[in-house]
């Protein structure tokens, strides 16, 4: 029973730490891919009708407005952007993509996009062509130097209506942001070329703003709106991904509760083992009590027996859980190999691999939960042993 209790506590603590590590790693990776490749705060204008009755959200005089936004305390980057959705085609294949018109200087300030370790090509050549995500490159079978054709339905306006705009560009840079949906849909184009392509002469669609503390992006809303005027509107990365983050938080809490119950079940094995131990050692307890051993001493003896099982099991579980988090990549590769591949689908989960991140707080919470439950459940059989009447224990001896 002791060995069973020890194994149960070990596996329960291991499962708890491994789950907490994966949970923390998944959220960290998910958030990092967002704040490292997208705007922390997007500033845009509300729609306004022009003299022809058309609603426009474009931003004129964007250089002066960008300078005002940059003066807000905590703002680290402001990038005027032209955006549009087009169809990309190459090698007989098609894909829907979203084009971001941005200057080369601002593109180099996006951490996940300008990472030379995961990218192909030289970002300094961005002005000679366009930058595409690695997912688009795989979909259309493209590499550096190849040509890609972009087709926009909102093209040249003629007397016979609007004709699609078709133009070819050289691929000069291929990036990997770490998010499947970004790598699969995003294209960067020099801002001057994007203004011509999307009929945005001397205007932009929005500003991408980066701040010191992305987790507190909401508190920058008021000062940013004060700089852009009454037409200004704010959209943070938390607004865009808030539903998913809230779902992650709820899932984290539910998983912690479920695994806490698992630890409690494992701790109950300690109770079973101690109850059997007390029953088998009744004669010895009676003899010790008649020799003058106090109730407190008996209680401490059995408490130590149960507590050591919980202590050793918790220590082994912490070691296994930490090793799992540290070596999750080879473990995951082994599982993927044994199962024949396809265990992790990035198109569903968004990121390319299962991450894990050890946090001291998570390990300490798992240790506190395991030791706390182990010590608490040990008290009841220990008290039963301490209150055993020595006369009754030796009656039939």
Q: Which range among 124-133, 155-164, 228-237 has the greatest average pLDDT?
A: 124-133
Query: Is 88 in contact with 187 (CB distance < 8 Å)?
Result: yes
CA distance 29 to 25: 6
Query: Is 209 in contact with 39 (CB distance < 8 Å)?
Result: yes
Q: What is the residue-wise DSSP string for 193-233?
A: HHHHHTT-TTEESEEEEEES-GGGGGGGHHHHHHHH-TTEE
Q: What percent of the chain shows pLDDT beyond 70?
A: 91
Predicted local confidence at residue 83, as pLDDT: 92
The 10s digit of each residue's pLDDT in 257-316 is: 888 888 888 888 888 777 777 777 777 777 777 777 777 787 788 788 888 888 998 999
Sign of CA dihedral 7, 9, 12, 13: negative
Query: Is 252 in contact with 244 (CB distance < 8 Å)?
Result: no
Confidence band (pLDDT; 50, 70, 90) for 187?
Answer: very high
Residue 371: its H or E element: helix 360-386
Q: Which of 377, 375, 365, 372 is nearest to 19 (CA)?
A: 365
Confidence band (pLDDT; 50, 70, 90) for 50?
Answer: low
Predicted local confidence at residue 289, as pLDDT: 72
Q: How many CB atoms lie within 10 A of CB 3?
A: 10
The 10s digit of each residue's pLDDT in 148-164 is: 999 988 766 665 566 78
Query: Is 356 in contact with 328 (CB distance < 8 Å)?
Result: yes
Which tokens belong to 202?
């001397």
pTM exceeds 0.85: no
Predicted local confidence at residue 339, as pLDDT: 73
Q: Is the pLDDT of residue 334 over 90?
A: no
DSSP-derived letter for residue 262 is H
Which tokens belong to 76?
């680290």
Q: How many CB atoms lie within 10 A of CB 254?
A: 10
The 10s digit of each residue's pLDDT in 243-261 is: 777 887 888 888 888 888 8
As a whole number, mean pLDDT of residues 42-48 equals 85
Residue with tokens 């027996």: 305
């Amino acid at each position: 029973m002791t060995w069973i209790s020890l194994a149960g506590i070990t596996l329960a603590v291991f499962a708890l730490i491994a789950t907490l590590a994966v949970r923390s790693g998944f959220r960290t990776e998910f958030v990092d891919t967002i704040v490292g490749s997208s705007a922390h705060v997007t500033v845009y204008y509300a729609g306004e009708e022009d003299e022809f009755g058309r609603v426009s959200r474009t931003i004129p005089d964007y250089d002066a407005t960008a300078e005002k936004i940059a003066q807000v305390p905590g703002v680290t980057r402001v990038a005027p952007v032209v955006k549009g959705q087009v169809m990309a085609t190459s090698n007989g294949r098609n894909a829907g993509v979203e084009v971001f018109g941005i200057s080369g200087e601002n593109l180099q300030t996006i951490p996940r996009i300008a990472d030379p370790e995961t990218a192909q090509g030289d970002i300094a050549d961005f002005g000679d062509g366009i930058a595409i995500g690695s997912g688009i490159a795989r979909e259309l079978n493209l590499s550096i130097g190849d040509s890609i054709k972009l087709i926009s339905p909102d093209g040249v306006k003629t007397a016979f209506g609007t004709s699609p705009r078709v133009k070819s560009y050289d691929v000069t840079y291929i990036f990997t942001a770490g998010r499947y949906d970004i790598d699969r849909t995003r294209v960067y184009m020099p801002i001057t070329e994007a203004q011509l392509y999307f009929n945005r002469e001397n205007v932009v669609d929005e500003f991408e703003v980066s701040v010191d503390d992305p987790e507190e992006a909401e508190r920058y809303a008021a000062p940013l709106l004060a700089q852009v005027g009454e037409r200004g509107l704010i959209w943070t990365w938390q607004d865009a991904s808030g539903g998913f983050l809230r779902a992650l938080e709820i899932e984290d809490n539910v998983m912690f509760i479920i695994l806490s119950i698992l630890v409690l079940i494992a701790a109950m094995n300690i109770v079973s083992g101690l109850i059997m131990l007390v029953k088998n050692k009744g004669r010895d307890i009676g003899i010790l009590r008649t020799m003058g051993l106090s109730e407190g001493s008996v209680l401490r003896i059995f408490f130590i027996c149960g507590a050591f099982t919980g202590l050793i099991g918790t220590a082994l579980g912490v070691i296994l859980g930490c090793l799992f988090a540290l070596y999750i990549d080879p473990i995951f590769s082994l599982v993927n190999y044994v199962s024949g591949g396809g265990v992790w689908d990035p198109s569903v989960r968004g990121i390319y691999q299962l991450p894990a991140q050890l946090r001291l707080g998570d390990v300490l919470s798992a240790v506190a939960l395991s030791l706390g439950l182990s010590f608490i459940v040990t008290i009841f059989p220990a008290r039963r042993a301490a209150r055993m009447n020595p006369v009754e224990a030796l009656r039939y001896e």
